[in-house]
Amino acid sequence: MRGGTAVSIAYQTLRLSDLPGLRAAIRSGDYVKHTAGLGAGHLQTNLAILPEAYALDFMRYCQRNPKPCPLVGVSDTGDPMMRTLGRDIDIRTDVPAYNIYLDGKLADSVTDITDIWRDDMVAFALGCSFTFERALEEAGVPQWHIDHDTTVPMFRSNIETVPAGPFGGKMVVSMRMIAPERIDEVREISRRFPLAHGAPVHIGDPEGLGIADLSRPDWGDPAEIEPGKTPVFWACGVTPQVAIERAGVPLCITHKPGHMLVTDISETAEVPVLNPKHH
């Protein structure tokens, strides 16, 4: 498992293998690293926290771009508890690391935002690729970045997102090399997870997406361009971060990439909403 060895050496006294232990370790600040492979089958999410004045437009942006921005949870204004995603999730403490953007520029990275949370804040949780990556792993589809414990390569594509208010810009895509004979299966598996980017947005020819050099990603680490395999591109959760930077929102807080919110929701739940009855 990606990160498994490093995690077990550095944090061998922490109980990370179950959800309550992981949540407690993150909340206390004892665990501040990435969450890939952790969480025992629970939905992990990207995070964007914005002032309410931007919330309606940002929510419209997510609705109009459901593949890069699959909305899985929204807090009440000023309420730091993500009530539909867990019984006791405090968004100010329960993510391992946060990035703080001022006027659209990365200003700081912290492990707790209790002191900067405000009464006009709205927290948005967005589905992430860990969900379909796990499904591909279970189907025995190798993914280079997982096998080599690196971050998936991501590229700015030439696909325009559908704008909403100040939010817009190009879609960011992640790339995985897939054996041609497994592409249909990979498409079907990932399509089953509409709240985790769904089916690929492009298969083959990087130039069709305006990507000049597959070995030089805009984010993440380069992955080997494996001979005989085809590059397959998915909509990526970095897209809303780019849209937020472009919009120049005065104050925005996101997760630090890879350092996700781990929810109480099962990855296989039909809807990402905690509701004791009939859901």
- Contacts with a second copy by CB under 8 A: the residue count is 36
Given candidates 45, 46, 65, 174, which one binds a second copy under the rule CB under 8 A? Answer: 65
* 205 near a second copy (CB under 8 A): no
| Closer to a second copy by Cβ: residue 20 or 194 | 194
| Closer to a second copy by Cβ: residue 10 or 271 | 271
Given candidates 64, 81, 116, 225, which one binds a second copy under the rule CB under 8 A? Answer: 64
Q: In the stretch 102-141, what mask flags binding to a second copy with x, by CB under 8 A?
A: ----------------------------------------
Q: In the stretch 181-200, what mask flags binding to a second copy with x, by CB under 8 A?
A: ----------x--x---xx-
Least spacing, CB of residue 143 vs a second copy, in Å: 22
Given candidates 2, 202, 255, 259, which one binds a second copy under the rule CB under 8 A? Answer: 202
Given candidates 24, 30, 52, 150, which one binds a second copy under the rule CB under 8 A? Answer: 52
Instruction: Kindly write down the DSSP assignment for every residue of the chain, as one continuous string.
Output: -TTHHHHHHHTTTS--SSHHHHHHHHHTTS--S--TT-STTEEEEEEEEEEHHHHHHHHHHHHH-TTT--EEEEPPTT--B-TTT-SS-BTTTSSS-EEEEETTEEEEEES--TTT--TTEEEEEEE-THHHHHHHHHTT---HHHHTT-PPPEEEEEEEPPPBTTB--EEEEEEEEE-GGGHHHHHHHHHT-GGGT-S-SEES-GGGGT-S-TTS-SBS------TT-EEEEEE-THHHHHHHHHHT-SEEEEEPTT-PEEEEEETT-SSS---TTT-
